[in-house]
Amino acid sequence: MASTQDFYKDKLILAPMVRVGTLPMRLLALRYGADIVYCEEIIDFKILNASKVENELIGTVDFVLSDDTVVFRTCPQEKDKLVFQLGTSNAKRALKAAQKIQDYVSGVDVNMGCPKEFSIKGGMGAALLTQPEKVKEILTTLVKGLNVPVTCKIRILPKMEDMLNLVKTIESTGVSAIAVHGRYKEERPRHTNHDDVIKVIAQHIGIPVIANGGSGVIKQFSDIQAFRGSTGASSVMIARAAEWNPTIFRPEGKLPLMDVVREYIKVAIDYDNNYTNTKYCVLQMMHADMDIEEGLKTLSTDSLQDISEVWGLLDYYTETRSKFEKKRAEINTLNNL
């Protein structure tokens, strides 16, 4: 029987990314070859405050706040590949939040690497790296209380002894894998990733290690294997290189960015992704090519329809919206029977 650890072995993974890792980007990454996709970090409070809604119109399950903000949207197509990343500083709250979504995902991950002030002040993210007892409590509670595998994503610590103690503590909780971003809390993406530290970690623990932090050197598919080799890790997790072009996961090579952006927008239309998130992701993809006409024009859009028009997808948008209207009428008729 396959163990929960096997799920994380020898995999290419879309990293958790706030605002970027929403449903359209996850589906696109899967289409282009990612084995596993993480959602953006979602804080436990938000999931606890959200209501679950079956969205029949687009075939998704949504977790929605009282002001209609969709905190988390997922669909059956990604369920077997999806890991939900939780932001938390409290074991009981983490468990309650994770229990609410566990039927819709294949794993739950705890963010222990975010260096942002919001996370650190709340005792979340990288604040946990120096609190091994809290880490133990959160992960043990989740491992015992959930029926899906649990993992965590960390940054590295300055002292190797502390680092190894921490990962051994993490391993002892029964988690199925550990993702390691090879940078210290204070380091930024421009700093070189410490592949050598990931390698030492991989040599000292038995659970799969997922190497992260390689986007500076991952320009094409073959670079992913080179990064895996230099970290000695079982799997590779990619953030920025996938944010810029999710076809980085394609063994046959990346596709032209303009085509990929169009595909992204189509999926965003299919899943009624909100326009601010769609615009943000399009602009992130275009970041290095902002002088291209479509990129500049995207800056001044203020609806999904506008974005579709800029990218030559107005017909696709209009047809999809009229399909939605038809389906909405059918659903209303059925509900009134």
15: contact with ligand FNR by CB under 6 A: yes
Separation CA 22–CA 40 (nearest Å)? 7
Site size for ligand FNR, by CB under 6 A? 22
Separation CA 321–CA 269 (nearest Å)? 8
12: contact with ligand FNR by CB under 6 A: no
Nearest-approach distance from CB 255 to ligand FNR, in angstroms:
19
* DSSP notation for 115-134: -SHHHHHTT-GGGGGG-HHH
* Backbone dihedral region for residue 253 (phi beyond 0: left; psi -120 to 50: alpha; all else: beta): left
In three-state secondary structure terms, 55 is: strand
Candidates 12-20, 69-77, 138-146, 303-311: pick the segment binding ligand FNR (CB under 6 A): 12-20
Nearest-approach distance from CB 40 to ligand FNR, in angstroms:
5
Instruction: Please choose, from the candidates 111, 107, 105, 93, the residue with its C-alpha nearest in 3D space to the C-alpha of residue 150.
Output: 107
113: contact with ligand FNR by CB under 6 A: yes
CA angle 71, 44, 143 (to 5 degrees): 120
What track of x and - describes contact with ligand FNR for positions 263 through 292 (by CB under 6 A)? ------------------------------
Residue number, 113 or 149, with CB nearest to ligand FNR: 113
Residue pair 57/73 in contact (Cβ under 8 Å)? The answer is no
Taking CB under 6 A as the criterion, the residue among 60, 85, 106, 247 binding ligand FNR is 85
Active site residues: 114
Strand pairing report for 60-64 and 70-74: antiparallel
213: contact with ligand FNR by CB under 6 A: yes
What track of x and - describes contact with ligand FNR for positions 35 through 54 (by CB under 6 A)? -----xx-------------
CA angle 249, 202, 78 (to 5 degrees): 35
Candidates 92-100, 237-245, 287-295, 327-335: pick the segment binding ligand FNR (CB under 6 A): 237-245
Taking CB under 6 A as the criterion, the residue among 13, 82, 239, 282 binding ligand FNR is 239
Site residues (CB under 6 A) for ligand FNR?
A: 15-18, 20, 40-41, 85, 111, 113-114, 153, 181, 212-215, 238-241, 243
